[in-house]
Amino acid sequence: MSIGHTLLGLLESGPRHGYDLKRAFDEKFGHDKPLHYGQVYSTMSRLLKNGLVEVDGIEAGEGPERKRYAITEAGITDVQRWLATPEKPEPYLQSTLYTKVVLALLTHRDAADILDTQRAEHLRLMRILTDRKRKGDLADQLICDHALFHLEADLRWLELTSARLGKLAKEVLPG
């Protein structure tokens, strides 16, 4: 996720302080990984330097001065360009799990055990996500669906690999 673009998009509804941006980000996108304040302020500093935001005002408070940021026309254009650019699908052609299976075969360990252990871990996480989805709001449901669909694809791969393990062993083992 592009934190900079996300913060810019949040600024399109109106100027905000860094604290307000962090709170809005965490509320909408940071359920599992909230932003650190340092991340917000370093990102805003970079966006300011690049002309994508401007300081809309400075307020004195009990602590340090609070800058209020506003998005610029260049920032709006940048967000629009980012939103219109499709994300690159991740094909997982360098899979750690595949590597573990092949190494298990090469070192005469039980590759089926690795696949079984991974299947159990996937199913455990799927139960957690399904429970979260059931209890969550629409945003949580959509995020959980995304993760669950990926885990389901992984499970299909685990089953297929289990079925082909003998053939794979013949291909990767010498002699």
Dump pLDDT digits (tens) for 132-145: 999 999 999 999 99
pLDDT in tens, 88-114: 877 776 688 898 999 999 989 999 999
Domain assignment present for 17:
yes
Domain assignment present for 67:
yes
DSSP 21-78: HHHHHHHHT-SSSPPPHHHHHHHHHHHHHTTSEEEEEEE--SSS-EEEEEE-HHHHHH
**In terms of pLDDT, which residue wins out, 151 or 86?**
151
**Residue range of the domain that includes 160:** 94-170
- pLDDT at residue 37, rounded to an integer: 92
* C-beta of residue 17 within 8 angstroms of C-beta of residue 69: yes
Domain assignment present for 116:
yes
Domain assignment present for 87:
no
pLDDT in tens, 29-57: 887 888 999 999 999 999 999 999 999 99
How far is the C-alpha of 130 from the C-alpha of 22, rounded, in Å? 28
Domain assignment present for 175:
no
pTM, two decimal places: 0.73
Q: Which of 65, 78, 91, 69 is nearest to 11 (CA)?
A: 69
